[in-house]
């Protein structure tokens, strides 16, 4: 669409250069001003999205760390390990979003942390619901805004988080099923987290991350509380 618009503007410019009517010639600058205004608005929206994403991921990291502690206290070591790995992953997302904002010349507002801890089952349900919202609504919207503004770094950071959250949603649903079926001890006891995008793997690191292509040798192992 952007390429088509550029072609139209170029053709319009060529046509206008041979036109002797000054009123017609004045139309092109007006179009440029309108586009500039739209670009400025798109960038502002992306900045707003990135700040919201930074705040959300910072809260998720703190929340999952607290959930991990609670699961350990209740004797669910495997679920505690999952929450610990997820907490690290969300911290990576938050840091990525923060760096994008800094590259955009924005002074990042500190995240307002709000953590409430319930039972492990309730915490898992809360986490799964939160990931489902991010996957179905939040990140797709933010990605569209970033695409509209042409913010490549924002697109990369948002895509990293979006694709990782899809995996987290599945992991939480799996843990919930194990909790309901009294088979928690069958869940993985070790996780590997990509330091670039937060991608989370069970049991073993891949040769390369399926999201960021980071070497598996660089993955962070999570196997102790």
pLDDT bucket at 38, cuts 50 / 70 / 90: low
Q: What is the set of domains in the chain, with CATH numbers?
A: 40-185 (1.20.1260.10)
Rounded to whole angstroms, what are the CA distances from 153 to 55, 147, 149, 164?
18, 10, 11, 17
* C-alpha triplet 211, 58, 151: angle, nearest 5°: 55
- Residue whose tokens read 């070790």: 190
CB-based burial of residue 224 (10 Å sphere; 0-12 exposed, 13-18 middle, 19+ buried)? exposed
The pLDDT value recorded for residue 186 is 97
pLDDT for residue 20 is more than 90:
no
Query: What are the residues whose beta carbons fall under 8 Å from the beta carbon of 140, sequence distance 6 or more?
Result: 162
Distance CA 221, CA 225 (A): 12
Tell me the whole-structure pTM to 2 decimals. Answer: 0.83
Strand 191-193 relative to strand 220-222, pairing: antiparallel
Please tell me which residue, 213 or 9, carries the higher pLDDT value: 213
Specify whether the CB–CB gap between 154 and 146 falls below 8 A: yes
- Residues 120-124, mean pLDDT to the nearest whole number: 98
Residues 67/83, Cβ–Cβ less than 8 Å: yes
Q: Are 191 and 164 in contact (CB under 8 A)?
A: no
First to last CA, the chain: 50
> pLDDT band for position 41 (50/70/90)?
confident
Q: Is the pLDDT of residue 100 over 50?
A: yes
Would you say residue 11 has pLDDT above 60?
no
How, if at all, do strands 220-222 and 200-202 pair?
unpaired
Q: Is the model more confident about 34 or about 72?
A: 72
Q: Which two tokens stand for residue 154?
A: 């924002």
Instruction: Look at residue 30 and tell me whether its pLDDT is greater than 60.
Output: no
**Residue indicated by tokens 């991921």:** 57
Q: Is the dihedral of CA 211, 59, 191, 184 positive or negative?
A: negative
Nearest-angstrom CA–CA distance, 155 and 116: 31
6-20, 37-51, 144-158 — most confident range: 144-158
């Amino acid at each position: 669409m952007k390429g088509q618009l550029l072609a139209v503007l170029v053709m319009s410019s060529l046509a206008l250069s041979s036109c002797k009517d000054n009123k017609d010639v004045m139309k092109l600058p007006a179009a440029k001003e309108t586009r500039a205004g739209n670009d400025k608005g798109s960038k502002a929206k992306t900045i707003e999205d990135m700040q919201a994403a930074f705040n959300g991921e910072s809260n998720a990291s703190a929340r999952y760390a607290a959930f991990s502690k609670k699961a350990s206290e209740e004797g669910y070591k495997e679920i505690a390990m999952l929450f610990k790995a997820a907490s690290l992953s969300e911290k990576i997302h938050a840091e990525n979003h923060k760096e994008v904002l800094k590259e955009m010349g924005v002074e990042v507002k500190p995240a307002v942390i709000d953590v409430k801890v319930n039972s492990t089952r309730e915490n898992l349900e809360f986490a799964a619901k939160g990931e489902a919202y991010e996957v179905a609504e939040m990140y797709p919207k933010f990605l569209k805004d970033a695409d509209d503004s042409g913010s490549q770094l924002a697109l990369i950071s948002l895509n990293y988080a979006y694709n990782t959250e899809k995996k987290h949603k599945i992991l939480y649903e799996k843990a919930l099923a194990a909790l309901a079926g009294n088979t928690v001890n069958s869940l993985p006891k070790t996780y590997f987290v990509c330091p670039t995008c937060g991608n989370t793997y069970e049991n073993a690191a891949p040769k390369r991350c399926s999201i960021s292509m980071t070497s598996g040798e660089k993955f962070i192992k999570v196997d102790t509380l």
